[in-house]
Structure 1
Amino acid sequence: MPIMSINATGSDMVSVGSSREQKARQAGTAMYGSIHNQNMAPRLENDHSTYVYGSERISTHRYSHCSTISSVRRTFCLVALFDLCFCFILWVIYTQLTDGNTVWKAFEQQVANYHFETSLFDTVMVAAFRFALIELGYALFRLNHWWLIAISTSLTCIFLIAKVFLFEFSHDGKQENPLSYILLLASFIITWVETWFLDFKVLPTEKKILLKGTHGESSERSNLLQHAEEANRGPDEERDRYYSPAGSDDESDVERYRSIPSTRTHSRKASQSSINGVTGRQDQEYLKLAKDTMEMLWELVNEKGWSTEKKSEDDVVKSAYIKKLKRKIYKLECVLDIGAQELWEETIEHVNESPSWNPTLLEAKTLLVVDEKTDLSYNIAAEAAGGLVSARDFINLRHWGERDQTFFIAVNGASFSEMPPQKKYVRGESGPGGMVFNRIAGEPNKCRLDWYLNTNLRGWIPQAVIDQGLTSVLMDYCKYLRVHIRDLKSRNIS
């Protein structure tokens, strides 16, 4: 059995350690890849294919050839088939009502004696052309780009515009069948529905499925490989790691988000922006904003003009238009079976874990610790109101403390140069608001949470949709928070 010499150099020690770690990583890859070889394939360093695991595997040119077509793509192909069938049925009905001829006589007039100015059979042929392009491109060849549907829609629109100008809706002194108008309009509308469905549903949904399969699923295999990679990462690489928010879909996004050094993201001690420990100018601005936000939060606490939006047992959502802020503010009141200080500390210390129990959040990440009571966080809010309000991301400054024997967390929007807006999300704006954790007299194991939500979702969203979306988010938050509190209590008991 070989024995390592005590005189071995540092480089020898490093090479031996890295060799063992590399072998462990290779063993883990081989072991888990062989166990799950029917459902997943190891992603090799020299392989540019992308594999998606689970029931929603996708197959395009870039993906595994054994993958199945996604359900949303199948639906899109069925829409194309519906387009063809619908146009054909309308045309058959149209021919039977034209000039009172028999079916076959009408067919002969429309097809055998075809004229562009009098026949609508060409609309069926255009629908067949669209169907052939879509089925070949998006079902057979599994294209994942919009260029083919753009060609189909453009050619169809050009044809329909020419048809409208040249078609004889009335001839021989007789008024044309009204179905001619319906057939042309239906062809135009369905064409644009197909375009919208591909661009806004099929491609984005498949991209989310792909990202979930390659980045979002937590598995024993992925954890093993991740630990192995972290063990092999040197000190210089550790400083240059990049933080990639959930949903990043290309390498340019990853390169834009450089992580903050660990001394400023994971420490609750006062940050040091210089070697001498002098607070930096940016930190001073954050602290001033935190103080102003705290004062505004207490003005909201003392506000009297709240009106009820929605009520459910112990949960109430209220709203008020605050003239000073020139915005409608929402207030959530809920009674919870947990002490005020315990919930306050849980909210402060474990904010990054909140997406694990709160589905209204896709991601939460502490970007910067300003001091012991102030930090900067990045949040991605899930879509709301049944998808009418798309996902938004926010950068919020949090400042917490105790005032008048009441615990609070003041929240306000802030900017951070190292986290610019992303292409995938609309960057929302938060105004002064926050949470207040009130003790309940005689019940130390209960508290009343007041959440003052002040947000500008941006975009062209009707106020009614905003009211519905934010009200639902607040009510759902209470439901998820109660489940989380029960889990906390069960862990503490065990």
Structure 2
Amino acid sequence: MEGLPDAAAFATKLKNTLIQYHSIEDDVWRVAKKTRDVTIWRKPSEEFNGYLFKAQGVIDDVVNAVMDHICPGPCRLDWDSLMTSLDILEHFEENCCVMRYTTAGQLWNIISPREFVDFSYTVDYQGGLLSCGRSLEWSEKRPEFVRGYNHPCGWFCVPLKESAHQSLLTGYIQTDLRGMIPQSAVDTAMASTLINFYGDLRKALLQKA
């Protein structure tokens, strides 16, 4: 497998990195954007010259339903307004794969469509689930897309203690969009994109119900 010598070791390291992000003290984060039901924070990334974003909000559904919509698969394309294609290139286990996906242009196409090739791993976490991913260096490229790169990222979804039918969804995203765009435009787009992600996910789950 190109760029992936050991899937099990890669998955374990990725999971541990996300758990480390999840334990970062609150006072390290700075609020980037906030709505009534979603908060986005950010801090400088240790992986690249950009930011690690943290997103958090309560979703009115059980963990498995929420994560079925987030994990790689055809369901994701049905509701995620940013994603324009998703293909599973290789399965390792039921919860472990390599996927290639594309995203639409953003900010009136100042940010042009991107393509990503990511390793994805989903694992149990404290009564809920963690779905995490990281881009791979993949030589096959398509000229109509800029190849972006996701540094370790992921979504923690756990049942809300006071309400078993609600879930607390916390995401960590650090995406190097690459190409010739100002970092300030990337930061603006990322915070807004994460807010929209929660809104689109809530609508999709309501429609399912």
Judge same fold: TM > 0.5, yes or no: yes
Candidates 98, 102, 110, aligned match of 1:376:
98
What does the per-residue CA deviation read over 1:440-486, in whole Å, with 9 as the maximum and x for residues that have no partner? 11211101111111110001211210111111211111111111001
| Cα 1:307/1:367, change in 2 over 3 Å | same
CA distance in 1 between partners of 2:11 and 2:49 (Å): 20
Q: Is the Cα–Cα contact under 8 Å of residues 353 and 364 in structure 1 kept in the other structure? A: no
> Residue 458 of structure 1 aligns to which amino acid in structure 2?
R
For the 8 Å contact 2:114–2:145, the answer to whether it is kept is yes
Q: Which residue of 2 is the match for residue 301 of structure 1?
A: 22
Question: What per-residue deviation string (whole Å, max 9, x for no partner) do you get for residues 207-234 of structure 1?
Answer: xxxxxxxxxxxxxxxxxxxxxxxxxxxx
Question: Is it true that 1:319 corresponds to 2:33 in the alignment?
Answer: no
Shift of 1:406: 3.4
State how far apart, in whole Å, the 1-side matches of 2:2 and 2:34 are. Answer: 45
Query: What residue number does 1:351 align with?
Result: 73
Could you say what the CA RMSD is over the residues aligned between the two structures, in angstroms? 2.0
Establish whether residue 463 from structure 1 lines up as the match of residue 186 from structure 2: no
Instruction: Tell me how far apart the structure 1 counterparts of residues 116 and 8 of structure 2 sit (CA, whole Å).
Output: 19
- Give me the TM-score of the superposition, normalised by structure 1: 0.40
Counterpart of 1:367 in 2: which secondary structure?
strand
Structure with max Cα Rg: 1
Give the structure 1 partner of residue 6 of structure 2. 285
Larger helix fraction of residues: 1
- On the 8 A contact 2:129/2:156 being kept in 1, the answer is yes
Whose relative contact order is higher, 1 or 2, with alpha carbons under 8 Å and at least 6 apart?
Answer: 2
Contact 1:340 / 1:439 at 8 angstroms: preserved in 2? yes
Which residue among 143, 168, 171 is the counterpart of 1:448?
168
1:393 maps to a residue whose letter is E
Contact 1:393 1:425 in 2 (8 A): yes
Q: TM-score, normalised by structure 2?
A: 0.91
Answer whether contact 1:410 1:433 (CA < 8 A) is retained: yes
Equivalent residues in 2 for 1:65-464, closer than 5 Å: 284-304=5-25, 305-323=28-46, 327-348=50-71, 351-416=73-138, 420-464=140-184
CA distance in 1 between partners of 2:91 and 2:157 (Å): 22
Change (3 A) 1:281 1:429: closer
* SS of equivalent to 1:388: coil
Shift of 1:323: 3.2
| Distance in 2 (alpha carbons) for counterparts of 1:338 and 1:434 | 19
Q: Deviation above 6 Å: which 4+ runs of structure 1? A: 280-283
Aligned equivalents of 1:427, 1:299: Cα separation in 2: 27
Shift of 1:360: 0.8
Provide the C-alpha distance between the structure 2 equivalents of 1:415 and 1:352, rounded to a whole number of angstroms: 24
CA distance in 2, matches of 1:393, 1:386: 18
Separation of aligned partners in 2, 1:479 and 1:345? 16
**What's the offset of the Cα at 1:412?**
0.5
Report the alpha carbon displacement of residue 381 of structure 1 after superposing the two structures with TM: 0.9
**In structure 2, what is the equivalent of residue 59 of structure 1?**
none
Query: For structure 2, which runs of at least 5 residues remain unmatched after alignment?
Result: none
Identity across the alignment (%): 17
**Higher strand share goes to which structure?**
2
Check whether the contact 1:437–1:448 (CA below 8 A) recurs between aligned residues. yes
- Conservation of the 8 A alpha-carbon contact between 1:413 and 1:431: yes
Instruction: Tell me the secondary structure at the aligned position of residue 386 of structure 1.
Output: coil
Please say if residues 411 and 432 of structure 1, whose CA atoms lie closer than 8 Å, have aligned partners that are also in contact: yes
Q: How many residues align?
A: 207
How far apart, in 1, do the equivalents of 2:130 and 2:198 lie? 17
Q: What SS does the corresponding residue of 1:334 show, helix, strand or coil?
A: strand
The 2-side partners of 1:310 and 1:428 are apart by 23
Unpaired segments ≥5 residues, structure 1: 1-279, 490-494
How far does the alpha carbon of each residue in 1:393-428 deviate from its partner, in whole angstroms, 9 at most, with x for none? Answer: 1011111111333310011011445xx111000000
Q: Which amino acid aligns with 2:41?
A: K
- Aligned AA for 1:289? F
